[in-house]
Amino acid sequence: MTDPRKYLIRMSAFLLIVLIVLGLLYQPLKLAFMGNPVLNSLIIAVGLVGIIYIILQVLRLVPEVKWLSQIQRTRTLDPRAAKPRLLATVNVMLADARSDSRLSAMSLRSVLDGVAARLDEGREISRYMIGLLVFLGLLGTFWGLLQTIGAVGNVVGGLDLVGSDFETMMSQLRNGLDAPLSGMATAFSSSLFGLGGSLILGFLDLQLGQAIGRFFNEVEDWLSAFAKYNDTSAASTGSTSALAEGLSEEGARALISLAKAIESAEADRGQMIEQITAMNQNMHQLGELLADDRRLRDQLAELSAQIGDLASYMAHNRAESHNDLKAEIRALSSAVTKSLSGKATPELTAKKDG
């Protein structure tokens, strides 16, 4: 940050030059001052007040520059430090914990407008004092002209052109011209001091304007780092910014928040649609599995019935086989018995014959 006190050095050098010139022209200025001491004293007093006021306006920038330099150096806001006056809007912005780390273009413009308004308030009084000096000089000029015209009329009306000789008339005219000359002295002396004072205050106000302009430009450059010129995506910037131009800052922020909420809702809705689609696919697959399971159960029931029939058939066949086997064994036993009985009979017959 540029130190505003360097402009005080320029002002001091200019005032020193003015004092030197006034010292060199002291005697003529003293005679001019005596033309109307009251009005000229008022003009000089207004000029001195204007000089002091402009110097105070430059000195008012010094604590603001120190505060901003400390913020830039430490990057933190000290709540115990004295709050600035010219940068009150910047202090509010930095102290607001709810604000974003970046500002929209409208917010930046609002903050800078607040700073510019406070800076222009001080210059309005200095400009008024410059105009006041010119006005007092013109007021003295017209006042002196009125005195001159009235005095000339009195002189012309008081001349005795009938009974006086030429020398007496010229003596009356010379004595009567003292009042018009006094009025002319009032007119020109007040114009001299008024225009001279406005010239001095004009240069000092020029230096004040340069100091204020440099200070404002540096504040604007620093705040530009906090600015964000696109609050939404590139697709929605055109429509949103065009609509937000006619809104207040709060309305623009609300509109941008609403746009972001709508975009988030659209994204969530897309995700929900994808999830519902995936769920439908899973339900379809589950239905197919349930259908397969139903068919499998039917096949298992049919297979169980067939196994039951097969078991019954096998039991029946086993019973028939068992009965057949028993019959065969019985028949075989009968045959064996008969065979054994046939062999025993001849042997018994032979024994009986012997």
pLDDT of 187-205, one tens digit each?
Answer: 677 888 888 999 999 999 9
Q: Are the CB atoms for 186 and 193 separated by under 8 Å?
A: no
**Domain shared by 138 and 276, yes or no:** no
More confident residue, 296 or 246: 296
**247 is a domain residue:** no
**243 is a domain residue:** no
Indicate whether 281 pLDDT > 70: yes
Domain that holds residue 15: 5-229
pLDDT at 61: 87
**159 is a domain residue:** yes
Among 229, 253, 274, identify where a domain stops: 229
39-69 residue pLDDT tens: 888 999 999 999 999 999 999 888 888 888 8
**Domain shared by 9 and 131, yes or no:** yes
What one-character-per-residue DSSP string does 114-173 give?
HHHHHHHHHHHHHHHHHHHHHHHHHHHHHHHHHHHHHHHHHHHHH--TTTS-HHHHHHHH
**34 is a domain residue:** yes
**Domain shared by 44 and 132, yes or no:** yes
Q: What are the CA-CA distances from residue 193 to residues 16, 50, 139, 337, 352 (Å)?
A: 18, 14, 12, 175, 198
What's the domain count of the chain?
A: 2
Q: What are the CA-CA distances from residue 274 to residues 121, 268, 271, 342 (Å)?
A: 61, 10, 5, 99
75-134 residue pLDDT tens: 776 666 677 777 777 777 777 644 445 566 666 777 778 788 888 887 888 889 999 998
Residues 6+ apart with CB under 8 A from 253: 104
More confident residue, 266 or 179: 266
pLDDT at 51: 93
**103 is a domain residue:** yes
**Domain shared by 94 and 184, yes or no:** yes
Q: Report, as an integer, the average pLDDT of 303-310.
A: 76
Q: Are the CB atoms for 204 and 49 separated by under 8 Å?
A: no
**155 is a domain residue:** yes
Indicate whether 206 pLDDT > 80: yes
H helices present in the chain, as ranges:
5-24, 26-33, 37-74, 88-95, 105-158, 166-176, 178-224, 234-244, 249-353
Compute the distance between CA of residue 121 and CA of residue 128 in angstroms, rounded to an integer. 11
**246 is a domain residue:** no
Asked which of 56-60, 128-132, 172-176, 304-308 is least confident by mean pLDDT, the reply is 172-176
